[in-house]
Amino acid sequence: MTKAIQDINTFLEELDRMTPWWKKIYYWFYRKTRDIRFFIFDEVPCYFHRAKKGYSYIDTWSFDAYLCRVIAGGVGDLKNRHFGRPADLSAEEWDEILGKIIDGFLAGQKIIDMDFWVVGDDAGTNMKMENRLRVEFEEGVDLFKKYFFHLWD
């Protein structure tokens, strides 16, 4: 027959007394090695998946966020190298376009992560910020589509 739980602290102390010593060691070890196990069994195989396919199953959990990071990073590298650009654009114009593409995909990442959301703030301010980020994202995607075949080094 079980006793009714009177107090959570009393319950936890009793549970601690009932747990064998070897389980306490096991749980301690299990918690301390969680990050190592995640790296070995999840992250390392993902490196091989990315090398083989270009993406991994972990990337598809939030594929939109993954693509925003990859596109912003890749276009940023193109912008820093200054090798290729469309023939009808000057270097300054091309840098500005690449900057807008980068800013657009970073805005998309902020929308996905809700980095703009201020807790306790009125909904109107948060919605205005989200709308501004969406406009910036749309502009970046439109430029990305327009100059897609010019994104080379």
One digit per residue, the tens of pLDDT, for the chain of length 153 reads 456 667 888 888 888 888 888 888 888 888 888 888 888 888 899 889 889 998 898 888 899 999 999 999 999 999 998 788 888 999 899 999 999 999 999 999 999 998 887 777 676 788 888 899 999 999 999 999 999 999 987
CA end-to-end span of the chain, whole Å? Answer: 74
| Of 146, 139, 47, the residue nearest 102 (C-alpha) | 139
| Of 103, 99, 66, 60, the residue nearest 82 (C-alpha) | 99
Q: State residue 54's pLDDT score.
A: 87
Q: State residue 76's pLDDT score.
A: 94
Q: In degrees rounded to 5, what are phi and psi of residue 122?
A: -70, 150
Yes or no: say if 94 and 85 are a contact pair by the CB < 8 Å rule.
yes
The pTM of this model reads 0.71
